[in-house]
């Protein structure tokens, strides 16, 4: 880059460099030149970089664009989002009245979104929401009871609190389970995905004793492809499946919940102590050897779930 080809205009009244629409300051030129040496810098030429910044308005917008590239651009933004996930886990909730669980588990300082099905149930609609918990006016049991409420008159299949903004305009695929959402042994649920279908498979055997049905040796497996490479990943839910739950998990919905095009899912389980547990399995930031990660859990106590 020809550094001496762009002049700096100085304001004699203050002795500090000032910017015009068709000029860059010395500091910005040096920073651009340093960026060009990085292997991950996207522009093909020095001229393209200079023209881009000259077209930006002066002041904060130009500096913030340069800082965005210095911090890694899109890849740096994705890295910061992953760091936020570690620092502040995702929060999952539903609109519920006379909630007797711990509202302290909900972080209302997060950005909250309400998810609902579109009119044709072909996509998942995401909208910002104001979520709060208020003391129930009509009590059902002893002790404190809360109503978990939000301001979306359309209602919501579920509520999600995240430490970063989600795109509320982008269309999200939605798959609702059939009339039998239970993942019984021998069943397989096909999930549409960009690089080929994923399959959620349940195995095991059903036994009957004294007229009571039990499921033995139950396991749940997800098989699919994450990108364009010809590599299938197989993920087992062995650590998630334990003896503290009754019956088999149920598939609540499958949809693109977060920021990548890969499918996410919500699964329901019934603890032996009663109530319901709703778990979000997210493809975003999943480990290399997995398709989903257990991102958030919402527990409804027995008084509400049963």
pLDDT tens per residue, range 269-302: 999 889 999 999 999 877 778 899 999 999 998 8
Every domain of the chain and the residues it spans: 3-70, 83-305
Confidence of residue 19 (pLDDT cuts 50, 70, 90): low
Lowest mean pLDDT among 7-16, 21-30, 210-219: 7-16
Cβ pair 293, 286 in contact under 8 A:
yes
The tally of CA atoms less than 13 A away on the side-chain side of residue 249 is: 30
Taking residue 129's Cβ as centre, other Cβ atoms within 10 Å add up to 20
CA distances from 60 to 1, 19, 32, 47, 260 (A): 23, 11, 16, 22, 30
Q: Mutual orientation of helices 46-54 and 60-70 as an angle, nearest 10°?
A: 150
Q: CB under 8 Å to 169, separation ≥6 — which residues?
A: none
Taking residue 224's Cβ as centre, other Cβ atoms within 10 Å add up to 21
**Cα 254 to Cα 267: distance, rounded to the nearest angstrom:** 9
Average pLDDT over residues 158-170: 90
Confidence of residue 86 (pLDDT cuts 50, 70, 90): low
């Amino acid at each position: 880059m020809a550094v001496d080809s762009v002049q700096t205009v100085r304001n004699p009244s203050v002795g500090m460099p000032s910017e015009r629409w068709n000029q860059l300051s010395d500091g910005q030129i040096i920073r651009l030149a340093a960026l060009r040496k990085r292997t991950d810098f996207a522009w093909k030429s020095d001229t393209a970089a200079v023209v881009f910044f000259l077209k930006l308005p002066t002041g904060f917008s130009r500096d913030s664009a340069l800082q965005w590239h210095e911090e890694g651009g899109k890849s740096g933004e994705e890295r910061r989002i992953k760091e936020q996930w570690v620092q502040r886990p995702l929060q999952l909730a539903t609109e519920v009245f006379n909630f007797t669980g711990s509202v302290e588990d909900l972080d209302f300082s997060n950005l909250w979104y309400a998810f609902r099905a579109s009119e044709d149930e072909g996509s998942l609609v995401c909208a910002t929401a104001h979520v709060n918990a208020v003391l129930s006016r009509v009590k059902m049991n002893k002790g404190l009871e809360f109503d978990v409420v939000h301001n979306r008159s359309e209602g919501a299949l579920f509520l999600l609190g995240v430490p970063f903004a989600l795109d509320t305009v982008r269309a999200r695929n939605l798959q609702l389970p059939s009339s039998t959402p239970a993942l019984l042994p021998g069943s397989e649920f096909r999930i549409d995905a960009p690089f080929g279908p994923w399959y959620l498979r349940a195995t095991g055997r059903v036994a009957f004793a004294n007229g009571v049905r039990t499921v033995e040796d139950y396991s749940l497996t997800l098989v699919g492809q994450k990108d364009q490479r010809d590599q299938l990943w197989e993920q087992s839910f062995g650590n998630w499946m334990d003896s503290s739950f009754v019956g088999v998990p149920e598939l609540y919905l499958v949809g693109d919940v977060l920021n990548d095009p890969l499918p996410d899912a919500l699964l329901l389980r019934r603890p032996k102590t009663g109530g319901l547990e709703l778990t979000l399995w997210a493809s975003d930031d999943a480990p290399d050897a997995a398709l989903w990660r257990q991102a958030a859990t919402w527990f409804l106590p027995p008084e509400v779930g049963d």
